[in-house]
Chain A
Amino acid sequence: MPLLKNGAVIDDKWRRLADEDPLPGTDAVIVTLARWRADRALAGRLGPLGLALKNSEPVQALAEELHYFELVVLEFPKFTDGRAYSQARLLRERHGFRGELRATGQVLLDQLLFMQRCGFDAFEIAKGQPVEAWRKATASFSVFYQPTGDGREAVDSLRRVLGGRA
């Protein structure tokens, strides 16, 4: 599946490991939370490690372990199920996760901006024109009403900094 990262489609170096699959040498692999919990050997592994979380698995419990992962994959089983937006913000803004934060599942192009605002920087996209969609999503709005951890200034602070009302 095409992987959109930082506005470009790139090769995905990561491989998802089923819980019963043997652990390969130093390839970049993504494991489930269940496997991470069961297999403490993963913590001492040399190759890059990614973690796939279900949207019912609370991120708070992982706060002390996030430094083991270069990648966290969050899932949108349906685009209407928005739990991963909260997971993403908590990972970025509360727990300081700086690795790749990837959206998978039903990732629709019209949701890219919401996802990016919540901290996602990589997206598995099944159909459409991801690069064009990314350009549109990130260019279509210049005004944002709420502060998130995405670095954009929210309207309220702009109003206060620039003083007065236009």
Chain B
Amino acid sequence: MSTTTTTTTIAATDVELDAEGFFVRPEQWSEPMAEELARREGIETLTAEHWQVIRFMRTEYLAKGSGPTVRVLGKTSGVSIKRLYELFPKGPAKIAARIAGIPKPRGCI
């Protein structure tokens, strides 16, 4: 993986993203950025369910130092695997992590 980072403006604030579009510094994230980040991922509007997942991703990351995988999300976020893929068709953990401003979750399962 490349270590190059880029600076992008999200919701009128400069943030640092890695080569894959994940926040390098999660503390740069704030809730008003989520809608714009979601649109970059092809999600037009964030529903309450999207937010449930996004907040869960952040809480888990801040508590444990890494974001949850899809399996963990399915077991503990209160949203089923099936629904997670409907909400984030391009990969729930990966896309929600980008929108939640945290690094990419690592884990094979």
A and B: partners?
no
Identify the A interface with B (CB < 8 A): none
Identify the B interface with A (CB < 8 A): none
